[in-house]
Structure 1
Amino acid sequence: MGGYFTFYVRNRSCWAFSAVGAIEGLNAIETGKLINFSEQEILDCELSGDCNMGWVNKAFDWVIRNQGIASADDYAYTGNRGACKASQIQNNAFSTIDSYYHVEESDNGLLCAVAKQPISVSLYASQDFHHYSHGIFDGPNCPVNSKDTNHILLIVGYDSVDGEDYWILKNSWGTRWGMDGYMWLKRNTNKTYGVCAINAWAYNPVKFHGRNPSISSTLDQQ
């Protein structure tokens, strides 16, 4: 019962999970410290989105305006929109971003971005996507050369097997979906926007160097 509940709730908040995951990944690369930030704060406070759908770039805009985001421990996920508590809960000192970019809409553009950090991406999740279990998914039922999307995930890497290239995607539907919550999606195709429009709406958050506190000094204050 609990597993199915997680599948359903996190499906509806995919945009918040993808945006926060991209910030967590960037933070880990910049500081060497992986900290879980609050998806719930995005869901409660970024009011242009809701539990059904939102926009990653709007989530990044909100984090920039708020000068950071709380940790997941301090602002826990409930799966339902509530009152925004941003003014009551302190931001994590490492959670700031300074800007974000829309990644070039091509396999090479996305590859260059993913080589540096996890990237928030949208795609068209067809019925067979929902039932994905393993292997390289090539989106046989996705619209061809279309920018239409209906789901948001996080690209965390790329690889090849038996001469076939693929993206490594992290979903927000729990570990019972796919390969422990992950998917391999075919890359380097002749499709204008990639498989299931994976190249069309990719965003990466940015930190300007010198903006993070030192890890030791921040931990001393906790």
Structure 2
Amino acid sequence: QNGTCQYNASTRAATCSKYVELPYADEAALKDAVANIGPISVAIDATQPTFFLYRSGVYDDPRCTQEVNHAVLVIGYGTLNDKDYWLVKNSWGVRFGDEGYIRMSRNHANHCGIASYASYPLI
């Protein structure tokens, strides 16, 4: 849009001084960071139709690869029906998945590359 930028530095809530990258494909490090830091940015393979169509349960598609193409936010983890999962917030709105969230398989060989490129900002 044309016009004057409305950004005002004096009203910003925080400044990111740098960011921390977690060890590549280390799900234990990701779990520790989620528990002790908070939400963690990650990249995943979101190419499978089953990802787009997810509604409930723990997402675990064997066709999912380590080639990542989509950024999401890991906000928690848990276990559902004996399946470990990452609780992931997507950016596609509440019509995606379970009100905008997906439970992705955890402790399953870095499923969909979820722990490959994990990072968080230092404020």
* Structure 2 counterparts to residues 26-105 of structure 1, below 5 A: 82=1, 88-91=6-9, 92-105=11-24
Which of 164, 181, 186 is equivalent to 2:105? 186
Q: Report how many residues are paired.
A: 119
After TM superposition, the score normalised by the length of structure 2 is 0.87
- Cα-to-partner distance string for 1:1-59 (whole Å, 9 max, x where unaligned): xxxxxxxxxxxxxxxxxxxxxxxxxxxxxxxxxxxxxxxxxxxxxxxxxxxxxxxxxxx
Question: Is 1:112 equivalent to 2:50 in the alignment?
Answer: no
Aligned-residue offset at 1:164: 1.8
Question: With CA pairs under 8 Å and 6+ residues apart, which has the higher RCO, 1 or 2?
Answer: 2
1:93 to 1:149, Cα distance in 2 relative to 1, 3 A: same
Which is greater in Rg? 1
Paired residue secondary structure (1:174): coil
1:85 to 1:100, Cα distance in 2 relative to 1, 3 A: farther
Aligned-residue offset at 1:102: 1.0
Off by >4 Å, runs of 4+ in structure 1: 82-86
1:169 to 1:90, Cα distance in 2 relative to 1, 3 A: same
Higher strand share: 2
1:85 to 1:138, Cα distance in 2 relative to 1, 3 A: farther
Which one-letter code corresponds to 2:56 in the other structure?
Answer: H
Which one-letter code corresponds to 1:118 in the other structure?
Answer: P
Question: Is 1:200 equivalent to 2:116 in the alignment?
Answer: yes
1:102 to 1:90, Cα distance in 2 relative to 1, 3 A: same
Structure 2 gaps, min length 5: none
Partner of 2:60: 138
Aligned-residue offset at 1:139: 2.5
Partner of 1:162: 81
Which of 122, 126, 130 is equivalent to 2:43? 122
Whether contact under 8 Å (2:58, 2:80) holds in the other structure is no
Structure 1 gaps, min length 5: 1-81, 208-222
Higher helix share: 1
Aligned-residue offset at 1:93: 3.4
RMSD, aligned α-carbons: 1.8
Aligned-residue offset at 1:140: 2.1
1:108 to 1:85, Cα distance in 2 relative to 1, 3 A: farther
Percentage identity across paired residues of the two chains: 34
Aligned-residue offset at 1:84: 9.4
